[in-house]
Amino acid sequence: MKKDDVSSGKAKKERYQHDQLRIESGLNNKEEYAAEITAPVRKITYADQYRSAKTKETASRTQEVGDEEVAELVDSVRSNKAVGYIALFVALASLFVWPVLLGISGMILGVIAFFFGNRALGSWSIALGLVAVAAYFLLVPYYA
């Protein structure tokens, strides 16, 4: 054997190992990567015309809300919550003191709170006021 045959055999073995590593690691030089690099093709459909017109309509309808309007909305939400909590407090108090007067007041305030947007507080106030009034009229005959 000649020295050139040994070196060429070693070179072939190294080239084979290098190619095998490239194939196993996914870096095959015979693959084409153009599809992964290019921008995706956008499919044009007839619905795109209507979508763009719809977004233009909604964009024209929306207006920017000023800080004063936001402050007014926050104040109205706070006042609505205050009505709900007052109604709940009155309805709870009606269970212990003056059930007819405070119970009916709690129910009225509960209805107001319900229509102002505090549905949970309003519902609880109405229910507790109703329970207080009903309990009073059911229990009074036994104690009178």
For 50-90, what is each residue's pLDDT tens digit?
666 556 666 555 566 677 877 787 777 777 788 999 999 99
> Does 115 reside within a domain?
yes
Listing DSSP states for 48-65 in one string gives HHHHHHHHHHHHHH--PP
Euclidean distance between CA atoms 105 and 138, whole angstroms: 19
Please report how the helices 99-116 and 67-94 are oriented relative to each other, as an axis angle in degrees rounded to 10.
Answer: 160
Confidence at residue 122, expressed as pLDDT on a 0 to 100 scale: 93
Residue 33 pLDDT greater than 80, yes or no: no
Contact of 125 with 91, CB cutoff 8 Å: yes
Contact of 105 with 90, CB cutoff 8 Å: yes
> Does 141 reside within a domain?
yes
> Does 17 reside within a domain?
no
Could you give the residue ranges of the DSSP H alpha helices within 27-118? 34-37, 47-61, 67-94, 99-116
pTM above 0.85, yes or no: no
Confidence at residue 30, expressed as pLDDT on a 0 to 100 scale: 58
- Residue, of 144 and 136, whose pLDDT is higher: 136
Euclidean distance between CA atoms 13 and 23, whole angstroms: 15
Confidence at residue 17, expressed as pLDDT on a 0 to 100 scale: 76
Confidence at residue 73, expressed as pLDDT on a 0 to 100 scale: 76
> Does 30 reside within a domain?
no
Q: How many domains does the chain have?
A: 1
Confidence at residue 101, expressed as pLDDT on a 0 to 100 scale: 95
pLDDT tens digits, residue range 107-140?
999 999 998 888 899 999 999 999 999 999 999 8
> Does 90 reside within a domain?
yes
Measured in degrees and rounded to the nearest 5, phi and psi for residue 44 equal -95, 125
> Does 34 reside within a domain?
no
> Does 100 reside within a domain?
yes
Confidence at residue 85, expressed as pLDDT on a 0 to 100 scale: 93
> Does 54 reside within a domain?
no
How many residues comprise the chain?
A: 144
Domain around 91: 79-144
